[in-house]
Chain A
Amino acid sequence: MADLVLTVLNMSITAGFAALIIIFIRGSLGRLLPRTFSHALWLIVLYRMIFPYSFSSIFSVLGNLKANLDRYTAVLQEIPQNKALNLEVFSGHSAQELAASPTNENLLEAGGMGAIQNSAASAPSDNLFLVLMVLWTVGILVLLTYNGISYRRLCGSLATATLFERPELTKECSALVRLTRPVSVYESDKVVSPFVYGLISPKVILPSGICRDNDAESRDRLKHILLHEFYHIKRRDYLVKPLAFLGLSIHWFNPVLWIAFRLFDRDMEMSCDEGAVHVLNAEEKDNYAVTLLNMASAASGIRKRSALAFHANDVKERVKHIVKYKNPRRSAAVLSAVLVILCAVGLLSNPTSLATGLKDGKINVLVMCNAEGSQFPDTILLLGYDADRDGINVTFVPRDLTVEQELNGAGRLSGYAGNNPPEAVVEKLSEILGVEIHNYVSFDTGVFRDLVDAAGGVEFDVPARMVYDDPNQNLHIDLQAGRQVLDGKKAEMLVRFRKGYTEGDLARIRVQQEFLEAALNQKGELNLSADNVYRLLSEDMKTDLDMKKAIALISQLQKPKGAGGSVNFVEIPVVVDNDYPWTLHLDQEKAGAVSDSF
């Protein structure tokens, strides 16, 4: 249920944003944009209101907005799950038992189970959530019921509407608009404004008052109205508008969408006006405006007493529009059509980064960490998740690994990563290791410190006394040997220390690996939820990883062993270069093991 509400909120904000852009375009182009096209623009908003999914393209203008939205949605959706998890851990129940059920599927979707557990916890925020949800549902029901009842009444009143007695006029207009199927036209003395009703077989209802007179003027008026209404039917507005209303009912809390609905309605009428005058000659075009005017004033006697008065009047705008309206020249029509297509692609599609990543329940992420102020990553590791595999693969890639480059010949991985965009590193490593890498995450040691501090430190047995000073790097290491709780600062000293090891970088990797293991193993004791981790990371990291997947991956790492949360360290087989001891080559014979395990 929480998922549903968050998804709707996400849709509502996306649709609202699209609506604002369209309101802006529509407003700034004014009469240059035929209403037939602005009518089409609104369909984009309608899609966004009703369908949560869309295709991805690099042309999406939603950029950060959609990405952030999806991130927050994912964060919020993860909360119940993590809460439930922590709750169980704290209350001493078997964590495995609980976590065993929401395993792999949950990497993509925060499961319903988490939500149920969460409601049992009934924190104050849950109550607020419940109240909001009830309000939302009530709003929807009120709108639907109210309009449903008024529709039922209308059907009742219109049961005795009688067939329009001038079939020749119906036929003429139907041919002009090129309707493909016959449409019944009825007249009723119970209505003042013509309209279309019925979802399956739409009918036109005319007020019987305007059907009585037989002079040429009345005949023209009927013709104008029929053309307008038939145009609605031809364009399936009798289906589109109820759909838009349904969308509005879901998003009733969003004022922008109310405005959008109102403007959509207006554009719908105005584009039918355009459609009607399109088949009339220039002389008759002005008569059409007169018909509009007369209808709006002739009906006034009856309408004065109706409660519809809270609507602003559109007739003025419509009359002015139709008087000035010229059938758009081909160039204008083409330009408008291009604009509609651009808007459709830009506003309908999601930004691309959302599409990459978890393919077939698989995701491999390159993690790079550099010292603050340095562009060269010291620690490079690969995280691999596969729904078919228990646990997460972690592979530390030595920073001194030899990398072939087109321009500079062989170089070290660290140097390559410092001088190339992360995407290039992803590509290079994919090629070297034979592992398909989907995304990257890059941050500095500052973020690392914050993470360790947020976790309340990590208990670790420091293997030896570590002392090192490098003012150039602003690095001061001073660590006592032995078991202790390392805070962020000390943890940084530990993972950056390398001077004392005989094996240099490789030994450091071993320590880093042990540290990571220790940190992950004490996860049950620390109260650091996936969204907290994510929030810490997101401030300073660079990534192309979709937020939802990032959080899913983090929470996967946090899961207890046996519940899909175990970590398998995969070692990269290397041989030390005989001539240059700081250079490592991939052991080609054994390298297959790495790609096999991912």
Chain B
Amino acid sequence: MYGFKLFEAEYKFMEIIWEHAPVNSTRLAQLCAEILGWKKSTTYTVLRKLCERGLLKNENAMVTYLVEKEEIGIQESKELLDKSFGGSLPMFLTTFLKGKPLSEQEAAELKKIIDDNRNGKGE
């Protein structure tokens, strides 16, 4: 078992610190903007959270890690989706998929249609 579980984004953030620590927090914000595409405020928020959890230390604007890579696992985001969306995206987004997932039977049916089409062309 890992001592800590992080979300994927936090893990990527930690990876930057493992590589560059000790790192000045301004420089860290720059790095995060380049590599992760984060805003400065996002970097500082995540930094503060991880400091509070005891994974990082931020002293005099120098950031270092307190936990090694091996001690950390990635947490699945399953629960988070429901928590953060309440199951609903705004109606005005153009989402690639919407509605119920396909049942196995429906998926098989569609697979057959695609295959038939492919074979039809081959003949």
Q: Which residues, 96 to 110 on B, are CB-close (under 8 Å) to A?
A: 96-102, 104, 106-107, 109-110
Contacts of B24-58 to chain A: CB distance below 8 A: 35-39, 41-42, 45-46
Instruction: Decide: B8 and A189 in contact? CB cutoff 8 A.
Output: yes
Among A165-207, those with CB < 8 Å from B are 184, 186, 188-197
With an 8 A cutoff between CB atoms, is B117 at the interface?
yes
Residues of chain A contacted by B8 (CB below 8 angstroms)? 162, 189, 208
Determine whether the beta carbon of A189 is less than 8 Å from that of B7. Answer: yes
Set of chain B residues within 8 Å of A312, measured between Cβ atoms: 99-100
Q: Which A residues are in CB contact (< 8 Å) with B39?
A: 159
Q: A293-B107, A319-B113 are in contact. Are A302 and B78 (CB under 8 A)?
A: yes
Number of interface residues of B (CB under 8 A): 50
Cα A309 to Cα B103 in complex, Å, equals 12
Which residue of the partner chain A has the closest CB to B41? Answer: A159
Contact partner of B38 (CB less than 8 A), chosen from A159, A265, A295, A297, is: A159
Q: Please give me the residue from chain A that is nearest to B99 by CB atom.
A: A311
B8 → A minimal CB distance (Å):
4
- B90–A229 CB distance below 8 A: no
Residue from the list B10, B91, B99, B110 in contact with A309, Cβ < 8 A:
B99
Query: Which of A160, A305, A307 makes the CB contact (< 8 A) with B46?
Result: A160
Query: Is A228 within 8 A of B114, CB to CB?
Result: no
A-B contacts at CB below 8 angstroms, number: 179
Interface 9-residue window, one of A282-290, A553-561, A562-570: A282-290
Given contacts A153-B84, A245-B91, A313-B99, contact A162 B113 (CB under 8 A): no
Question: A297 near B101 (CB under 8 angstroms)?
Answer: yes
Partner of A190, one of B41, B84, B114: B84
**A307 in contact with B99 given A268-B94, A316-B106, A320-B113 (CB within 8 Å):** no
Q: For residue A512, give the distance in angstroms from its CB to the closest CB of chain B.
A: 62
- Tell whether A147 pairs with B99 under 8 Å between CB atoms, given A190-B81, A289-B114: no
| Residue contact B94 to A232, C-beta cutoff 8 Å | yes
Least Cβ–Cβ distance between A104 and chain B, in angstroms: 43
Are B99 and A299 in contact, CB atoms less than 8 angstroms apart?
A: no
Contacts of A315 in B (CB 8 A): 97, 99, 102, 110
User: A248 to chain B: which residues have CB within 8 Å?
Assistant: 91
A157 and B102 contact, CB distance less than 8 A:
no
Q: Is the CB of A306 within 8 A of B92?
A: no
The answer for the CA separation of A150 and B102 in the assembled complex, in Å, is: 25
B89 contacts A190, CB within 8 Å? Answer: no
Q: Would B114 and A286 count as touching, CB distance under 8 A?
A: yes
Is A151 among interface residues, defined by CB-CB distance under 8 A? yes
Cα A295 to Cα B102 with chains together (Å): 10
Query: Could you write out 24 A-B pairs with CB less than 8 Å apart?
Result: A150-B85, A150-B90, A160-B10, A160-B38, A162-B9, A162-B35, A162-B38, A163-B35, A190-B84, A193-B98, A194-B95, A195-B96, A229-B96, A238-B94, A241-B92, A286-B118, A302-B78, A307-B86, A307-B87, A308-B100, A313-B101, A315-B110, A316-B102, A316-B110
Chain A interfacial positions (CB closer than 8 Å to B): 147-148, 150-151, 153-154, 156-157, 159-163, 184, 186, 188-197, 208, 225, 228-229, 232, 237-238, 241-242, 244-246, 248, 265, 268-269, 282, 286, 289-290, 293, 295-297, 299-300, 302-309, 311-316, 319-320, 323-324
Which 10 A-B pairs rank lowest in CB-CB distance, beginning with the nearest? A300-B101, A307-B87, A311-B99, A163-B37, A245-B92, A160-B9, A189-B77, A242-B92, A193-B97, A195-B95
Known: A161-B37, A296-B107, A315-B102. 13 other contacts (CB 8 A): A148-B90, A151-B92, A157-B84, A163-B35, A163-B36, A189-B77, A237-B94, A245-B90, A282-B121, A295-B97, A296-B101, A308-B88, A309-B99
